[in-house]
Amino acid sequence: GQQLNQSPQSMFIQEGEDVSMNCTSSSIFNTWLWYKQDPGEGPVLLIALYKAGELTSNGRLTAQFGITRKDSFLNISASIPSDVGIYFCAGRDGGATNKLIFGTGTLLAVQP
């Protein structure tokens, strides 16, 4: 099925560093969601975005809905070891079924 391009594929950082990841699409989206998934668990919703240009924060996490509506960014400030996991973006393209399409994921590893 269709997937969103998400980058980077993986990141290995030191505790305390800031992290940035992004998601791009060839088509316009009307909703962007960011999820975090721990091994063996289901994805947990972090942030939801509904308007172009929208910037939303959830604690140390900040996400933005790109102004072109074809991309979204997630930033994590002052990373901690429990930030480890796979981060997925997901978007709805507003088509006939408006299905949720997932990005390829970013694996984050944080060295204490």
Q: Residue 4 is which amino acid?
A: L
Q: Whole-number minimum distance, CB 16 to another protein, in Å? A: 26
Residues in the site for another protein, rule: CB under 8 A?
1, 3, 31, 33, 35, 40-45, 48, 86, 88, 90, 92, 97-100, 102-105, 107
Token pair, residue 63, equals: 């996400």
Q: How far is the CB of 41 from another protein (least distance, A)?
A: 5
Shortest spacing between CB 102 and another protein, in angstroms: 4
Q: Cα–Cα distance between 74 and 56 in angstroms, integer? A: 10
Measured in whole angstroms, the distance separating CA 95 from the mean position of its chain's CA atoms is: 21
